[in-house]
Amino acid sequence: MRIGVVAGEASGDYLGAGLLKSLRENVPGLVAEGIAGPRMQKEGAKSLFPMTQISLIGVDGLITNLSRLLRIRQKLYRHFIADPPDLFLGIDLPDFNLHLEKRLRKNGVRTIHYVSPTVWAWRSWRISKIRQAVDHMLVLFPFEEDYFRTRDIPATFVGHPAADELPEGTTGEIRLRLGLPLEKELVALLPGSRNSEVLNLGLHFLEAAALLQRRRAGVEFAVPYVNSEIKQIFRDQLSRVTPNIVLHEFTGRSTEVMAASNVVLAASGTAALEAAMLRKPMIVAYKVSRLSYWLARRVASTPYVSMPNNLVAGPLVPEVLQAAVSGARLCDELWSLLSDSGRSSQMVESLENIYKQLKNDANTKAAELILQLRAGWVRP
């Protein structure tokens, strides 16, 4: 079995790696090629282009890199048309993948899209394009299955892999594994997995940490870096803003760092959802260019940017957005969660419900479904 695959960000690489591993357990000779990150490549995927070349954020990022994106997508299309795979799997990255899926499907290649585009939250007009591009949608959240099926798009809820792979052990045991102090209050800082996110949020996160350390004696901080480039950006910011905070640094291990913490301060995105599944009190921050934010709000159909709030349809998690993002504001929010045990406990109780919904042995379910779909598509 040979599949085409495209993942464009760290979160997609994580999801794709788990899925490929489960697929390979059932199909030992599986061949996967397209665009893959380091995790997927460890599971045997061949990447024809570096994943970083299609990782973007915001409208400004799209405009700046448009010609390169179009060139890469055209080369992928020609590659897969010249030698058609058994199916194509687009993992997230809808602005890139849906167009490619539509063209491949038109030429007889079956397509599966893994991770729903958030059409239920914004840019709902994409439904028509999805219907033309996708044979089947694998979705991470229960409500998405009904959303797509009622719009004539085959979809199946498989669960979220992160809910099945949370760190084992108590907070104390995880701290021991990481070499973190057992008795200190610990705040996890996750300013993003992309350069632009850290450039927009890192300084504010560090200013908040410095202010909180002055107000709350003994508090310490931990940051898990996605890669060496992110680490260098954050360290440069640290040297300029507040080199004296007590900061524990890690490469990877983000879920363990969050699990070991009392409170999480995260950029909106995958980290916020992971913190929700870990049932950790959190604050979410979001900051992009004015143009990107203005356009996003113009087409949004939900008032929330973080997935935990969208899942409960309410302001469960504090969201600090755009011009409101500052060290002082983030410090105040962290102080409130650390000081108000009642507020933190209520948040944790609601997050527990989210976790129970999403734990579903997702990688196995997704792999089994893909093989069932493939068997149904093969003509006798």
Across the range 142-160, mean pLDDT stands at 96
* CA–CA gap between residue 362 and residue 358 (Å, rounded): 9
What share of the chain in percent tops pLDDT 90? 80
Tally of residues, the chain: 380
CA distance 330 to 285: 8
DSSP-based helix, strand, coil % in the chain, nearest 5: 55, 15, 30
Q: What is the pLDDT of residue 54?
A: 85
Can 2-159+360-377 and 171-358 be said to share one CATH topology?
A: yes
CATH number for 171-358: choose from 3.40.50.2000, 3.30.300.350, 3.40.50.720, 3.90.1150.10: 3.40.50.2000
Domain ranges in the chain? 2-159+360-377, 171-358
pLDDT at 61 over 70: no
pLDDT score of 19 more than 90: yes
Distances (CA, A) of 341 to 23, 103, 262: 44, 53, 11
Residue 64's pLDDT band (boundaries 50, 70, 90)? low
Stated pTM of the model: 0.80
Confidence of residue 60 (pLDDT cuts 50, 70, 90): very low
Over residues 317-345, the pLDDT tens digits come to: 999 999 999 999 999 999 999 999 999 99
Q: What is the pLDDT of residues 178-220, one digit of tens each?
A: 999 999 999 999 999 889 899 999 999 999 999 999 999 999 9
Burial class (CB in 10 A: 0-12, 13-18, 19+), 243: exposed
Query: Residue 95 is encoded by which pair of tokens?
Result: 């602005």
> What is the C-alpha separation between 163 and 307, in angstroms, rounded?
14
CATH topology of domain 2-159+360-377: Rossmann fold (3.40.50)
